[in-house]
A and B are shown apart, each in its own frame.
Chain A
Amino acid sequence: MPRVKAEPKKCIKSNLQQPPNSWVFVLKGETLEQSEQYTGTGTPDIVNLRHPNTGEAAVFLFSSANNSVQEILSFAEGKRSWFIEESVKSDGKMHLSTPIDPIFLVLPYLRKHCNSQAIPLDQLLRDDEFPQMERLLKCSGLKYLTMVADRKGDEEINAYKYNEEKTLAWLQKKTERVAEILKQKKIHVLNGAASATFVESSRNENVNNDAYLKHAHGIVSEYLMEDLSDKLLKHLNLSEDTTNTILKRKSAGSLIQPEAKVPKLDEERTPPSNVLDLSKPTLKSVKPPIQTSKEKSRSKAATGSKSITHFFKKS
């Protein structure tokens, strides 16, 4: 998915009476400006939707007219606070939003419910857990839903049936475009460190193409269920084991990726439990409780025994 770089406009929602409720949010200016053309009452809205990779709740931003959706990434490093006017906000998190193709959000629903039957889109997107899912209906991006599904029946009914072949072709295009952008920006995806000014000879280009494609597949996979990601990998004719090593290398060599977005790096390291809440797992440093020598020897004596909780149920 191409990430369009635009001049970010800093928008600080600060509420001095209730500092804990404020966020530091960097978002593209046009997201806010749209509200001027729009005659309705809505403002950009932050809602919970089902994340296409994890299936769990994640935070997304709808534009005022619901016609575009952005994902919100939060970036936090341990010791940081913000100065906002004359006050200090102790939560040093920074939130960024980037547009996301709504088809990614719809895809899990399609795959789950529309494998054998066509379902009208408005029924498909009814999710009791995430009622806001219905707002996706107005997203302009959904007119391309035929890229991943076949429309059945009357156009008015707007019913779709999932088509895996089409989906994989669509994902392939997405992946190739991401790879292209990576290449354009000269993002280092190979193993080992390299100087940012290092010019590679053209001989390596073929090898590099594969590496870029693999890296791009990794980025796209963050928005796909695991099985679909594997299928995409096969579709792209990339072998799985090398991908794993690349991923490993990626995280090991993450510091030398000069232009990679910082939240992305975090995402790679954290397990995909909740992709958007990046700060928590990295900040947690579990301090082992201090053990006395007696406790140590006792825990040594305890080796080879099952825990007593194994025998007695918690009441």
Chain B
Amino acid sequence: MTTTAASLDVETIRKDFPILSRLVHGDKPLVYLDNAATSQKPRQVLDAIVDYYEKHNANVHRGIHTLAEEATALYEGARDKVAEFIGAPSRDEVIFTKNSSEAMNLIARVLGEAGPGYRIGPGDEIVITEMEHHSNIVPWHMLAERTGATVKWFQITDDGRLDLSTLDSVITERTKIVSMVHVSNLLGTINPVEKVVKRAREVGALVLVDASQSAPHMPLDVAALGADFVAFTGHKMLGPTGIGVLWGRLPLLQELPPFLGGGEMIEVVTMERSTFAQPPHKFEAGTPPIAEAVGLGAAVDYLTAVGMDRIAAHEHELTTYVLDALSAVDGVRIIGPATAEDRVAEVSFTYAGIHPHDVGQVLDEQGIAVRVGHHCARPAVVRYGIPATTRASFYLYNTTAEADALVKGLAQVKKVFG
């Protein structure tokens, strides 16, 4: 790695992640390149979770004892951290969910039950893209099924970009919501959300952005993005599993009906009826994932301390390096943009007609963890006429040496199957 004033001290960062020093299959150092599936966790996050359970554990928002107040302060403090991290105009716009999937299902569900104006019904159109993760396809299929609405989508180009030449014909006066991924988990493409938002505004459609693969890797400013809702998940950004975030514009969150009913989300309950709390609590029924929120707060602190712009710059360098290295391997076909421009360091590829399962298995034997399959984005994989890909996805703690290990690993794959 070249070291400049702005570049990351990756070796120091790696020391914060205990798992990165483990060996697999006997004596092979772990080369973890499956970050788009989930990231590893730094000691600071693990400590925050243990510290919470050891010293402050209690249920939140109920009870006036010391621990309850501390737990509430920690949980709500995590909300403040996340709000600041994404540039939310108000902390009340940050809803904690289980994950991105739940966040997007929440919106799809309440739009089917909303009052006039936002309700999606027969004849209405929902717009998604061909590069969505199943979590941003299936909830809309389910909503369309329930309501009689129609799902339309933007196609993708051969080089892995969104085809927006049909912008005006796909998003029409009938469009009620556009739900799109910010960064594709299969292709690594960074999408021009602002262009879609602009068109959606012209027709009065809402916009939901799936930021699962962008929030961990680049500065995210929800106000600047211009969407109405943004979803992402904690475990891909150094936090624990079981905690996700839905950000939404406050007036919308106030107007939309609740998702799940239960404790925490009410104002007054009589035997006849219930009235609901204000956002964000309106959308957080039941005991929330408190320790997980605390862990996510610690993850946000960690990322902020390192600097999201520096992380993005480091990963941009890695993207260039990995694309060059893989392109030079005979038999590799990269699925997704060929250059690092508007692209992250998640690289899907096919290799010499060898099935990705077999590629992944031989790489694993050498300590290299990649993801193989359709990556829960089957329509996009099918679009490229292939059944599956091998995907190497990098993060702030990855190095160019690990990209080299991947290339070396591929040579071994060919030895077995060539």
* A and B from one complex: no
Residues of A within 8 A of B (CB): none
Residues of B within 8 A of A (CB): none
